[in-house]
Amino acid sequence: MFSRRLLSSSAPAALVAAFLVSACSDAGTNPQLDEVFSADQAVMNATPDGDHGHVMPGRTQLERLKAAGGKSGGGTGIFYHGGPVLQSGTNVAAVYWASAPIYVNGPAAGSGPGSADASLIGHFLRSLGGSPYFNINHSYTSGTGALIANSVVYTQYWANNSSVPADGANVTDAQMIGMLQSGFTSGALTYDASTVYSIFTANKVNLGGGFGTQYCAYHSHGTVTVGGVSKIVLYAAMPYDYAYPAACTSGLPAANGALDPGADYEVSVLAHEIEETTTDMLGNAWFDRRGYENADKCAWTWGTTYTTAAGGTANMNLGGKHFLVQRNWVNAGTGGCVLAY
């Protein structure tokens, strides 16, 4: 997610152009860039929760933001600010907050292990850890210098049919955290400090209040009570990106054809949020001097692609299935957007 600032679609074209030029240089402070940032902050403050802090902008907002040549920060173009990372590995729980399955073959109701999720989302989450793609995050370290493990474990899902938000309804961060709290309280969810609770919704449910117009997803954190003790919970707001194809999908044919385009397009944004949570879980670890986290620096860029048998566009095969996943910024050498490390 685009850390700390969001490029607003309402910003004047000249200022947007100034932003894009500045984002691809190591120049000093740019007054026009600051003006864009101020406009962006005003837009975010107009949403129910204000500035989410870690949003992923839509393709139509930042299509020209290319990290290649856009180095800013240390020798690799990104640097460490002292905060925690998920150094030992990242767990993921999928929370499907809908009255019916969101994705083909996805869970309908109840909770269970990640291994029982037969959707394309489930397959992707089970195949992401240990892959050459996720190994890009192994180029980042903790505060002690320990390399982040190339590990993602899909531990659990919860298909929550209760108090489902209506199509188009705004859902605040407080409501999302409250929903997660209900899962911990009831036992439908197991709490874990290293888990990203990815909240998926259907249609145009507006997680955070700016879906489709200001961002496509975001990661954040909040506080829940478990066993009478306050705990930090990591979560990602994962609305249904296929509802806004121009803004929140690649615009390329779905990798697996007509099987489930919604899931096909969702996985790239999901990877974006998982890898950013891994390297910048509380927003104070790895980002560059403009606030871009690792995945932000490569948002909506694909590298070398190929055509699948289903007629889709892909750039990697994970666990025997094809996916189109955005590149990520490697913290090695001089840095850059890559698909594997």
pLDDT band at 55; cut points 50, 70, 90: confident
Per-residue CA distances from 245 to 63, 161, 253 (Å): 13, 26, 11
pLDDT of residue 176: 98
Name the DSSP class of 59.
H
**Residue in 236, 335, 248 with CA at minimum distance from that of residue 289:** 335
pLDDT by residue (tens digit) across 3-27? 332 322 222 233 233 333 233 333 3
Q: Specify the 3-state DSSP secondary structure of 60.
A: helix
The DSSP bridge partners found for residue 306 are: 314
pLDDT of residue 256: 96
pLDDT of residue 34: 35
Q: Look at residue 36 and tell me whether its pLDDT is greater than 70.
A: no
Of the CA atoms within 13 Å of residue 261, those in its CB half-sphere come to 17
pTM above the 0.95 mark? no
pLDDT-wise least confident of 1-15, 46-60, 254-268: 1-15
pLDDT by residue (tens digit) across 142-161? 999 999 999 999 999 999 99
Q: Look at residue 189 and tell me whether its pLDDT is greater than 90.
A: yes
Q: Specify the 3-state DSSP secondary structure of 264.
A: helix
Answer for the pair 333, 176: CB distance below 8 angstroms, yes or no.
no
First to last CA, the chain: 21
Of the CA atoms within 13 Å of residue 56, those in its CB half-sphere come to 34
pLDDT band at 53; cut points 50, 70, 90: low
Q: Look at residue 35 and tell me whether its pLDDT is greater than 90.
A: no
pLDDT band at 71; cut points 50, 70, 90: low
**Residue in 252, 273, 335 with CA at minimum distance from that of residue 78:** 335
Q: Which tops the pLDDT comparison, 12 or 328?
A: 328
